[in-house]
A and B are shown apart, each in its own frame.
Chain A
Amino acid sequence: MSDTAKTLVQIVLALAVAVAAAIGLPQVLELFALINATVFVSMALLALSLALVWGFGGILCFGQTAFFGLGGYAYAIAAINFGDTTGAVPLALAVPTAFAAALGYLMFYGRISDVYMGVITLTMTLILFKFANSTAGDQWIIGTAPLGGFNGIPSTPPFNMPFAPDQPLDPGQVFVVAIAALVSCYVIAKLLLRTRFGRVAVAIRENELRAELLGYDVRLHKLLLFSVGGLFAGLAGVLFANCVFVSPTMFSLFYAGQVIIWVLVGGLGTLVGPVIGCILVQWLTTIAGSLPHVDANLFLGLVLMVAVVLIPRGLLPTARSMLARLTGRAP
C-alpha cells in the first residue's frame, strides 16, 4: 500500500470511529459519565498536540500545558466579557498560538538545545501556574471577569449556538463538538505531515544539521510546527474549560507531567498512540484515585518510570512490531 493510500485509510478510520463515538456514546452514557468523556477528549487533544510537536518535530516541550491553560483562560475571560462564545473561541485560539510563536522565536532563533528547551517550557508553565494562583482579589479583574486566584473562574460559560448567546449547548452537544475538534485536528495534523512542510519537519527531527546543510530553514519550520502545537493545545484548553472550568491547575506540574506520560506510553512518533495512551492512563488514574490510601501522583510516577525503563518506544510501536513479527512481515 502506498503512503498516500495508507494516510487515506487512517483518516477514514479515524472519521468512522469519531462518528460512531459521537452518535453512540451519548446514547449509552449517563450525564456525569458523558461530561467525563468530554474531559477525556479534551485531554486526548492535548496529547495529540504534544504528539505532533515532540513526536514529529522533535521539539521537547515539557510545558504544553502553558498553551492549554492560556486557551482556557482566554476563552473564559473573553466569553464572560462578550456574553457570547462565538467571538471568544477564535480569540482563545489566537492567544496561545501567539504565545507559542513568541516563546518559539526566543528558543529556536536562540538555537537553544532540546534539553534546555524542555526546562524552559516547563518553567514557563510553572510560572504561569504561580501567577494564576496569585491573581486573587479585586485588582485582578479583566473587563468583567475576575481571575479568582487559586479558585479560578468557576462561572466559565459553556458554548452557545453561534451568534445566539441565549441558546447554550447541552453536554451531549458539547461532547459532539469536542469529538469533532479532536478528529479535525487529527486530520489536519495527518495532512500537514504529508505536505512538503511536514516532511521537512520530520527531516529536521531525524537530523537537524543535515537538514540545515541541505538549505532548509530549521528555525522557521520548528517555529511554525510549535505554533500549530500551541493552537491545538489551546483548543484543548477551550474544550476543557467547557466541561470543567478554568483554574490554575490547568498549568500545574501534575498535568504537564501527565501529557508527557500519555505521549510516552502511547508511543512517540505516532499520532494515534498518544490519544490511546491518554485515554488508557486517564482511565487507570480514575481507578487508582478511587482506591483508598493511594496517591494518584505515586501511581503516575511509577507508570512513567516503568514505561521509560521497560517499553521505551511506547505501546503502539511495540504492538505494531509484535504484530508484524506474528504475521511474519518485516515491520
Chain B
Amino acid sequence: MDYALIVALQIASGIATLVIISLGLAVVFGMMRVINLAHGEFLMLGGYSAILSYQAGINLWIAILLIAPAAVGAIGLIVERLLIRRLYGRMIDTMLATWGLSLALIGGVNMAVGNTVSGFPAPLGSFAIGAFRVASYDLFLIAAAAVLALLIWLVLRFTTAGLIARGTMQNSEMAAALGVSPDRVYAVTFAIGAALSGLAGGLLAPISGVVPTMGTAYIAKAFITVITGGAAMLTGTLAASGLLGAVLTIGTFLTTPVLGEVALLAVAVILLRLLPRGITGRFFRRAL
C-alpha cells in the first residue's frame, strides 16, 4: 500500500515536472508559432538567477519565485526586440536563430561561471510514508504545476489582456484595426513565456542542480510534450504531460532513467504517427 502510494506520488511529480518545463515553451509556440530552441537556456538562466541571488543572501523563495522569472522575462524582452522581431512569420529562421542564441548562451555562461554544477539544498525537508521518506519539495512542485496551469487558464479565459492576446494571435491585422498594437502583444507574450521558463529553471534548480549545458537535458522533453499536445496550448500540454510523464516515470521505475526517456520518445513518435496534429488535434478541440 505504501509502495503504491510512493509510485503514484513519483508519477505525479514526473508529470508536474513536464508541465513546469513545458509551459513557457507552450505559451511561445502555442500563441506565437515561434519555435524557441533557446528555451532550455532560458531555464538554465532562471536556475542561475535563483542560485546567484540565493548565494547573495536573498531569501530562497524570493529567489526562486520572483527573481528567476523576472530576470529571464527581462532577457526575453531584449531577445524579442533584437532577434525574434526580425523573423516573425519565418518559422524555420526563428528556429535557427534561437538555436544560435542557445549555443551562444551556453558558451557565454560557460565562460562566465565555468562548467561546474552549482546547486542549493532542496528546502522543506521530507516526511515519511510507511518505511519510505518523501521530499516535501516534490509535493510543492506538484502544487506549483497545478497553480501555474490554473493561473494561465484564468488569465487567458477571463481577463481583457488574455482576450486581446488570443485575438491578436488569431488575426493580428484585425486586432490592429481595432486599436491593438500587435508588436506590443507579441513582445509581452514572448516575455511572459520567457518568464515562465525562468520560473521553471528556478523551481528545478534545487533538485537538479545547475550547469551551463542543463538546457539540453530539458529541451527535447519539453518540445515533444508541447508538440504531442497539439494546437490547444494549455489543454494539450497538460494532456501530453499526463501521458508522457506517466510513461517516463513508469519506464524509469522498470528499467533505467535513460530507457525511460527512450520510452517517452517512442510513445511520442508513435502517437504523432496516429494523431499527426497532436492530442488536441483530435480530442478537446475547443479547449484553450
A49 to B223, CA, bound (A): 25
Check B107–A299 contact: CB distance below 8 A. yes
Q: Do residues B220 and A60 form an inter-chain contact, with CB atoms below 8 A?
A: no
The answer, yes or no, to whether B111 is at the interface (CB within 8 Å) is: yes
Whole-angstrom distance between the Cβ of A57 and the nearest chain B Cβ: 14
Taking a contact as CB atoms under 8 Å apart, the answer to whether B103 and A297 are in contact is yes
Task: Give 1 or 0 for each of B252-288: 1 = CB within 8 Å of chain A CB.
Answer: 0000101001100100011011101000000000000
The residues of A that contact B104 with a CB separation of less than 8 Å are: 297-298, 300-302, 305
Count of A interface residues, CB-CB < 8 Å: 46
Does A308 contact B224, Cβ atoms closer than 8 Å?
A: no
Question: Which residues from chain A contact B110 at a C-beta distance below 8 Å?
Answer: 295, 297-298
Contact of A296 among B107, B256, B269, B270 (CB under 8 A): B107
Q: How far is the CB of A60 from chain B (nearest CB, A)?
A: 7
Pair A257/B220 contact, Cβ less than 8 Å: no
Complex contact B87–A308 (CB within 8 A)? yes
CB distance from A264 to the nearest CB of B (A): 6
Residues 47-63 of B at the A interface (beta carbon under 8 Å): none
Inter-chain contact A305/B83, CB cutoff 8 Å: yes
Q: Is the CB of A260 within 8 A of B99?
A: yes
In the assembled complex, B95 has its CB within 8 A of some CB on chain A: yes
Most-contacted residue by chain A among B83, B92, B111 (CB, 10 A): B92
Q: How far is the CA of A307 from the CA of B274 in the complex (A)?
A: 37
Inter-subunit contact A115/B224 (CB<8 Å): no
Contacting pair A120 B103 (CB below 8 A) = no
Question: Quick check: is A213 within 8 A (CB to CB) of the other chain?
Answer: no
A115 close to B269 (CB less than 8 A): no
CB contact under 8 A between A130 and B224, given known A115-B92, A116-B272, A298-B107: no
CB-CB < 8 A to B108: which residues of A?
295, 298
Q: A119-B227, A127-B220, A301-B100 are in contact. Are A110 and B273 (CB under 8 A)?
A: yes
Q: Residue-by-residue, is A230-264 near B (CB-CB < 8 Å gives 1, otherwise 0)?
A: 00000000000000000000000110010011001
Given A302-B104, A304-B100, A119 and B223 contact (CB-CB distance below 8 Å): yes
A105 to chain B, nearest CB (A): 9
Quick check: is B118 within 8 A (CB to CB) of the other chain? no
Q: How many residues of chain B have a CB within 8 Å of chain A?
A: 39
In the assembled complex, B105 has its CB within 8 A of some CB on chain A: yes
A127 to B248 alpha-carbon distance, docked (Å): 13
Is B258 a contact of A304 with CB atoms below 8 Å?
Answer: no
B71 at the A/B interface (Cβ < 8 Å)?
no
- Is A122 engaged at the interface, CB distance under 8 Å to the other chain? yes
| Bound CA span A321–B261, Å | 47
- Contact at A300–B103, with CB atoms within 8 Å? yes
Determine whether B208 belongs to the interface, using a CB cutoff of 8 Å to chain A.
Answer: no
B99 & A120 in contact (Cβ 8 Å cutoff): no
- Point out the residues of chain B lying under 8 angstroms from A126, CB to CB: 216, 219-220
| Minimum C-beta distance from B212 to chain A (A) | 9
- B265 nearest CB neighbor, chain A only: A127
- Name, among B104, B110, B273, the residue most crowded by chain A CB atoms within 10 Å (CB to CB): B104
A-facing mask of B93-137, CB < 8 A → 1, else 0?
101110111111111101100000000000000000000000000
Residues 280-319 (chain A) with a chain B CB within 8 angstroms: 293-309, 312
Say what secondary structure dominates the interface of chain A: helix
Q: Tell yes or no: A131 within 8 A of B by CB.
A: yes
> Which chain A residue has the least Cβ–Cβ distance from B83?
A305
Partner of A112, one of B107, B219, B258, B272: B272
B97: contacting residue among A106, A296, A309, CB under 8 A:
A309
> Given the complex of chains A and B, what is the CA–CA distance between A304 and B83 in angstroms?
12
Does A305 lie within 8 Å of B100, measured CB to CB? yes
Residue with the highest number of chain B CB atoms closer than 10 Å, among A120, A127, A295: A295
Q: Which of A115, A253, A301, A309 is the one whose CB lies under 8 Å from B105?
A: A301
Quick check: is B91 within 8 A (CB to CB) of the other chain?
yes
Contact B95 A301 (CB under 8 A): no
> With A123-B265, A297-B107, A299-B107 as given contacts, are A115 and B35 in contact (CB-CB < 8 Å)?
yes
Of A120, A264, A312, which contacts B269 at CB under 8 A?
Answer: A120
Q: Say whether A124 contacts B265, CB under 8 Å.
A: yes
Q: Is the CB of B111 within 8 A of A295?
A: yes
Q: Report the separation of the CA atoms of residues A261 and B269 in the bound assembly, to the nearest whole angstrom.
A: 26
Q: Within the complex, what minimum Cβ distance (angstroms) separates A32 from chain B?
A: 26
Q: Is the CB of B265 within 8 A of A309?
A: no
- Is B86's beta carbon under 8 Å from chain A? yes
Q: How far is the CA of A253 from the CA of B99 in the complex (A)?
A: 10
Report the Cα distance A184→B74, complex, angstroms. Answer: 51
Q: List 27 A-B contacts (CB under 8 A).
A: A60-B92, A106-B269, A109-B273, A110-B272, A116-B272, A118-B92, A119-B223, A120-B269, A120-B272, A123-B220, A134-B256, A253-B216, A260-B96, A295-B108, A295-B110, A295-B111, A297-B110, A298-B104, A301-B101, A302-B104, A304-B96, A304-B99, A304-B103, A305-B104, A308-B93, A308-B100, A309-B83
A residues near B, CB below 8 A? 60, 106, 109-116, 118-120, 122-124, 126-127, 130-131, 133-134, 253-254, 257, 260-261, 264, 293-309, 312
Which B residues are within 8 Å of any A CB, using their own CB?
35, 83, 86-87, 91-93, 95-97, 99-108, 110-111, 216, 219-220, 223-224, 227, 256, 258, 261-262, 265, 269-270, 272-274, 276
Q: Identify the 6 closest CB pairs spanning chains A and B, nearest first.
A: A298-B107, A301-B104, A304-B100, A301-B103, A297-B107, A295-B107
